Amino acid sequence: MVEINVTYEGGLRTRAIHGPSKTELVTDAPVDNMGKGESFSPTDLVATALASCIATTIGIVAQRKGIEVTGMRVRTEKHMSTDSPRRIVRLPTTVWMPLPPDHPERALFENTAHGCPVHQSVRPEIDIPIEFVWEG
């Protein structure tokens, strides 16, 4: 269990405190939803969580296998609905792997991305295509 405490600061801004580390994170509503867009929005954090989770889980698998993946990059785009209710509808993601396309663990890394906990936690109707670019 990890506790996160959030305080609404007004002006559509929140401050979250991560219980174990006391690290603070500020969110702001996006410009297209009455906010200032001066920080991550709550839905931006979902996209950020997906990209970070993919990188982290691939890193865990790589570390267990003794494979170096430092320099791996992950990019996720957040697409919102145009109808009501406002929601995330698509999170297309690209993973740049610093390994050759014929790497023997290619399938393992690709399956790991699709199996990361955030990917498994979002609603199934959210489209999450993942493209891999093998750069080694």
% residues pLDDT > 90 (the chain): 99
Q: For 39-93, how does the pLDDT look when each residue is reduced to its tens digit (9 = 90+)?
A: 999 999 999 999 999 999 999 999 999 999 999 999 999 999 999 999 999 999 9
Report the pLDDT value the prediction gives residue 80, as an integer from 0 to 100. Answer: 97
Is a pLDDT exceeding 90 seen at residue 136? no
Q: For 10-22, how does the pLDDT look when each residue is reduced to its tens digit (9 = 90+)?
A: 999 999 999 999 9
* Residue 80 phi, psi (nearest 5): -95, 160
Distance in angstroms (rounded) separating the CA atoms of residues 19 and 79: 30
